[in-house]
Structure 1
Amino acid sequence: MEPAAIVFPIRFATGNIAVQTTTSALSEQGVLVRCLEPPPAGTAVSIKLYLPGAREAMHLDGRVREHANPGDEPGFWADFVGVADAQRAQIGEVIARRRRAADAKPIGAMALSPRDEGRRAFPRYNVQFAVRFATVQDFVLEYAANISAGGVFVRTENPPPLKTVVQVEMELPGGGIAVPARALVVHRVTKQEAQQRGTVPGVGVQFMDADDEFRRRIDAAITHILETERAA
């Protein structure tokens, strides 16, 4: 089965270093991991896949096969090692579901970014909260329009170019101190495009190179959003 473009949270660890990031693609043999400083080829890694629809993370062993090509999204391919048949079948079902979802468009519907719509594996939750982000040293205060387990859409009239790595600090729903992370720009809507489409300008980013506390805070924020919606 060919790799499928799909985004979901992933954790990998080498030695005493653990990284929470997101994927770019998945196959039954391995996964393409977003990472600014990938481990050397041949490195053994411990992997947790936070697959959509799964109650618990899937634990796998892996080995770094190769780094992404220059000009592509930063990251590396990791091959799975010793995958059980049941795990491989679960991965195959996730890939099949994503392909069906990418192909199934409502009559008359038009995706803003067909490539990214097909890759998204987790639902987005509409919520507004403060976000500071920067591509250089100075942070700019903006506001998020929605968030998912793997990324956030930030309203801004000056969206950075695609594939730009940005620093973000998010004042997440549910309170607590601002959460910092690095993220990759995977979708952008300029002010002119927003006017044409009747939407808001901004930038969609996918989280990368964070830690376990970051993942805990994101999951807690989404739980808070869901509980607030149910109580309304």
Structure 2
Amino acid sequence: MSPTDRRGGGRTAIELSVEYKRLNTFFADYTRNISKGGTFIRTDRPLDIGTEFVFALTIRGLPEPLRLRGSVKWVVRPIDASPASPAGMGIEFMYASEEERRRTETIVEQLMANELGEQLAGRLLGKKIEPLA
């Protein structure tokens, strides 16, 4: 199964700074794309499939990083990487509550509107989207 086949929902190529910690080691990488259900983190040190971890996305326009919990669903090891499929890991967002899910989805929708424009993001998501202020 290719990374494209594993995705759920419309994705937008957005590079965001992402920081996370695993076994007392801090990592600072970047996203390659994002959707309402997850993100792809470009890294030469992907975590193992099934690993759950907390990470922070730095988003322009938000006063603080967006802290999320995620689970590694698939990886591209450096040895298997290519220009079209860089090394990294596909992350599925995990939510503690329905309120957290709605809040995160709203922020992602606004990011998509900022990156793609309101009309294109609206078509991709099937609804009218307002960009981040």
**Alignment TM-score > 0.5, same fold:** yes
Larger Rg belongs to: 1
1:181-205, Cα deviation, whole Å (9 max, x unpaired): 221100100111113x642110111
- Deviation for aligned residue 1:219: 1.7
Q: Whole-Å Cα distance in 1 between the matches of residues 95 and 23 of structure 2?
A: 18
Aligned to 1:165: 52
Aligned to 1:189: 76
SS at match of 1:226: helix
SS at match of 1:128: coil
SS at match of 2:44: coil
Aligned to 1:226: 113
Q: How many positions carry a matched residue from both structures? A: 117
SS at match of 2:107: helix
Cα distance change on mapping 1:226 and 1:127 into 2, 3 Å: same
SS at match of 2:59: coil
Aligned partner (choices 84, 88, 94) of residue 208 of structure 1: 94
Q: What is the identity, as a one-letter code, of the residue corresponding to 2:37? A: G
1:152-177, Cα deviation, whole Å (9 max, x unpaired): 10000010111111221111354331
The answer on whether the counterparts of 2:17 and 2:57 sit within 8 Å (CA) in structure 1 is yes
Q: Whole-Å Cα distance in 2 between the matches of residues 134 and 226 of structure 1?
A: 30
Aligned to 1:180: 67
The answer on whether the counterparts of 1:173 and 1:224 sit within 8 Å (CA) in structure 2 is no
Aligned ranges 1:19-98 → 2 under 5 Å: none
Q: Whole-Å Cα distance in 2 between the matches of residues 167 and 112 of structure 1?
A: 25
Cα distance change on mapping 1:200 and 1:224 into 2, 3 Å: same
1:83-109, Cα deviation, whole Å (9 max, x unpaired): xxxxxxxxxxxxxxxxxxxxxxxxxxx
Q: Whole-Å Cα distance in 2 between the matches of residues 133 and 208 of structure 1?
A: 15
* Structure with the larger strand share: 1
Q: Whole-Å Cα distance in 2 between the matches of residues 137 and 215 of structure 1?
A: 31
Q: Whole-Å Cα distance in 1 between the matches of residues 60 and 67 of structure 2?
A: 14
Tell me: higher relative CO, structure 1 or 2? Use CA pairs within 8 A at least 6 residues apart: 2
Unaligned 5+ residue runs, structure 1? 1-110
TM-score, structure 1 length as denominator? 0.45
